[in-house]
């Protein structure tokens, strides 16, 4: 009976260690995921800024193109 109880306690201790290891591994993986998510957030913010600048430049180019057409027509007359 005592041997059986010792085996049960040993098995419970093993299970406890496995759970601690699992929790530790899970926390490490979640930390890596969080780090990657932070990087993605930064990239999205950066891309949004670049998109805004691109749109401004695109609008300016369109305006310049229109100005050039008008100037060409005036010069041609």
The mean pLDDT of 32-46, rounded to a whole number, is 96
Q: What is the pLDDT of residues 52-74, one digit of tens each?
A: 999 999 999 999 999 999 999 89
Q: For residue 65, give Cα distances in angstroms to 49, 52, 62.
A: 24, 20, 5
The total number of structural domains that make up the chain:
1
Secondary structure of residue 77 in the 3-state scheme:
coil
Confidence tier at 1 by pLDDT (50, 70, 90): confident
What integer pLDDT is reported at residue 76 of this predicted model?
87
Residue range(s) defining the domain that contains residue 28? 1-76
């Amino acid at each position: 009976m005592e041997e059986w109880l010792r085996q049960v306690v040993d098995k419970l201790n093993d299970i406890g260690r496995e759970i601690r290891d699992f929790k530790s591994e899970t926390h490490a993986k979640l930390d890596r995921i969080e780090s990657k998510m932070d990087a993605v957030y930064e990239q999205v913010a950066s891309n949004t800024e670049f998109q805004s600048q691109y749109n401004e430049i695109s609008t300016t180019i369109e305006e310049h193109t229109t100005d050039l057409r008008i100037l060409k027509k005036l010069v041609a007359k």
